[in-house]
Amino acid sequence: MIRCDDPLASPLEAVLARYGLHLEWVAPGQPIPGSFWGDSEAGLIGDRLLVRRDTPLHSALHEACHYVCMDAGRRQGLDTDAGGDYDEENAVCYLQILLADHFPGVGRQRLQQEMDAWGYSFRLGSARAWFEQDAEDALAWLQRHGIVDATGRPTWSLRMDIQTLEQDDA
Domain total for the chain?
A: 1
Asked whether residue 54 carries a pLDDT value surpassing 90, the answer given is yes
- To the nearest whole percent, how much of the chain has pLDDT over 90? 85
Please report, for residues 18, 156, 166, the alpha-carbon distance to residue 101 in angstroms, rounded to integers and kept in the order given.
15, 14, 30
In a domain, 75, yes or no: yes
**Each residue of 104-130: pLDDT tens digit?**
999 999 999 999 999 888 888 999 999
**Each residue of 73-91: pLDDT tens digit?**
999 999 998 988 999 999 9
| 79: phi then psi, degrees, rounded to nearest 5 | -155, 100
Eight-state DSSP code of residue 56: B
Is pLDDT larger for residue 60 or for residue 36?
60
In a domain, 30, yes or no: yes
| Amino acid, res. 133 | Q
| Domain interval for residue 151 | 9-169
In a domain, 37, yes or no: yes
Task: Report d(CA 11, CA 18) in Å as an integer.
Answer: 11
**Each residue of 123-165: pLDDT tens digit?**
889 999 999 999 999 999 999 999 999 999 999 999 997 655 5
Task: Report d(CA 140, CA 105) in Å as an integer.
Answer: 28
In a domain, 4, yes or no: no
- Exposure string of 120-148, with b = 16+ CB inside 10 Å and e = fewer, is bebeeeebbebbeeebeebbebbbebbbb
In a domain, 1, yes or no: no
Task: Supply the pLDDT for residue 110.
Answer: 97
The answer to whether the pTM exceeds 0.85 is yes
